[in-house]
C-alpha cells in the first residue's frame, strides 16, 4: 500500500454490518484504515471489528471514551483484545484518564495508537463559548493537546484549522488525525471547521478522516483514489 493511501481513514458511518462490509469490500486497497464509530459499534459490536480485520484491513475504533480512569482502562483493555489499530478517548476526560488509557494500551501485546479527541470539528467558536470555555477554538485545542501529550497519548484528533498551531508547538511529538475534510466542491454538511485533503496534508496532518464525501459518492473507490492522489501530490 502506498504511504499516501495508508494516511486515508474512511469513516464507516453506516447503519449496519451489511452496508459497512459492502463498503469495506468496495474500498479494499483504496484506503489505509476503516473507522468504526459509535453508531456501528453500538449496533454490531466486536464481531464487526473482527470481520473487517479478517479481510486484512486496519481498524480505527472511534469510541471517544470518556469516563473515570478505571473504567476507561478496562474499555481500552477490551479494545486491545479486539485488535484495534487506533482508539480514541476524549482529552477533556483529563490527565489521569488519558494516562490510564495510554498505559493500558502500552501493556497490551499489539498496542493501538491512543488518540485524544480535542474539540469536535462540528463545534464553532460560538458553540465553544456557549459551553463556558472562554478560549478560542485554537487555544482550547492547544490546551487539550498539551494535556494529551503530557499524559501519554500518541496523537490527537483535531481540525485542520488548529493544525498549524499544534505542529508548531508539538512537532512530531504527536500524530495528527484530522477529520472535517471536504474535497473541493463537495457539501459541507454539519462540519464547520473544514479543509480540503490537500490543505490538511500541507498543514501537517499524518492521517485524514473522510466519511460522507467517500460513502455518498457514486463511486466510493474513485472518490478515495482522488483523495489519495491529493495526498500524494503533497508528498
Ligand atoms: O462524514 P464526515 O467526513 O463529516 O465524517 C467525519 C468523521 O469524523 C465522523 O465519523 C465523525 O464522528 C468524526 N470526527 C469528527 N470530528 C472529530 C472527531 C471525529 O468529525 N473531532
| Domain harbouring 7, CATH code | 3.20.20.70
Q: Supply the pLDDT for residue 142.
A: 94
Compute, in angstroms, the gap from residue 121 CA to the centroid of ligand 1: 7
Reported pTM = 0.93
Evaluate: CB of 208 within 6 angstroms of ligand 1: no
Atom of ligand 1 nearest to the CA of 190: 4
Residue nearest to atom 18 of ligand 1 (CA): 120
Pocket test for ligand 1, best of 35, 121, 144 (most atoms within 8 A of CB): 121
Compute, in angstroms, the gap from residue 180 CA to the centroid of ligand 1: 6
Residue nearest to atom 8 of ligand 1 (CA): 179
Evaluate: CB of 11 within 6 angstroms of ligand 1: yes
Q: Supply the pLDDT for residue 161.
A: 85
Of the candidates 128, 124, 125, 208, which has an alpha carbon nearest to the alpha carbon of residue 163? 208
Q: What is 154-217 written as a DSSP string?
A: SEEE--TTTHHHHHHHHGGGSEEEE--B--TTS--TT--S-B-HHHHHHTT-SEEEE-HHHHTS
- Domain span at residue 196 reads 2-233
- Please give the chain's pLDDT, 235 residues, in tens: 569 999 999 999 999 999 999 999 999 999 999 999 999 999 999 999 999 999 999 999 999 999 999 999 999 999 999 999 999 999 999 999 999 999 999 999 889 999 999 987 678 889 999 999 999 888 999 999 999 999 999 999 988 888 999 999 999 999 999 998 998 877 777 666 688 999 999 999 999 999 999 999 999 999 999 999 999 988 6
Domains of the chain: total: 1
Q: Supply the pLDDT for residue 188.
A: 74
Q: Supply the pLDDT for residue 184.
A: 80
Compute, in angstroms, the gap from residue 221 CA to the centroid of ligand 1: 19
Compute, in angstroms, the gap from residue 228 CA to the centroid of ligand 1: 18
Q: Can you state the angle between helices 137-150 and 163-170, rounded to 10 degrees? A: 40
Q: Which of 22, 35, 64, 175 is labelled catalytic? A: 64
Whole-number Cα distances in Å, 110 to 64, 80, 104, 172: 20, 7, 11, 22
Annotated catalytic residue 64: yes
Q: Supply the pLDDT for residue 137.
A: 83
Evaluate: CB of 37 within 6 angstroms of ligand 1: yes
Residue 90 grid coordinates: 476524549
Q: Supply the pLDDT for residue 151.
A: 98
Q: Supply the pLDDT for residue 1.
A: 53
Amino acid at each position: 500500500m502506498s504511504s499516501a493511501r495508508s494516511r486515508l481513514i474512511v469513516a464507516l458511518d453506516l447503519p449496519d454490518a451489511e452496508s459497512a462490509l459492502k463498503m469495506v469490500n468496495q474500498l479494499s486497497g483504496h484506503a489505509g484504515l476503516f473507522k468504526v464509530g459509535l453508531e456501528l459499534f453500538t449496533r454490531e459490536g466486536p464481531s464487526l471489528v473482527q470481520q473487517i480485520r479478517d479481510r486484512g484491513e486496519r481498524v480505527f475504533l472511534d469510541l471517544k471514551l470518556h469516563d473515570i480512569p478505571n473504567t476507561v482502562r478496562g474499555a481500552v483493555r477490551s479494545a486491545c483484545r479486539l485488535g484495534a489499530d487506533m482508539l480514541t478517548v476524549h482529552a477533556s476526560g483529563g490527565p489521569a484518564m488519558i494516562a490510564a488509557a495510554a498505559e493500558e494500551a502500552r501493556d497490551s501485546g499489539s498496542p493501538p495508537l491512543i488518540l485524544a479527541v480535542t474539540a469536535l470539528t462540528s463545534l464553532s467558536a460560538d458553540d465553544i463559548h456557549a459551553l463556558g470555555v472562554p478560549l478560542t477554538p485554537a487555544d482550547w485545542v492547544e490546551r487539550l493537546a498539551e494535556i494529551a501529550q503530557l499524559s501519554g497519548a500518541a496523537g490527537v484528533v483535531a481540525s485542520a484549522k488548529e493544525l498549524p498551531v499544534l505542529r508548531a508547538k508539538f512537532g512530531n511529538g504527536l500524530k495528527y488525525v484530522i477529520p472535517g475534510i471536504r474535497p473541493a466542491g463537495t457539501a459541507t454538511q454539519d462540519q464547520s471547521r473544514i479543509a480540503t485533503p490537500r490543505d490538511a496534508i500541507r498543514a501537517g496532518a499524518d492521517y485524514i478522516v473522510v466519511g460522507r464525501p467517500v460513502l455518498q459518492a457514486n463511486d466510493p473507490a474513485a472518490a478515495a483514489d482522488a483523495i489519495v492522489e491529493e495526498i500524494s501530490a503533497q508528498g
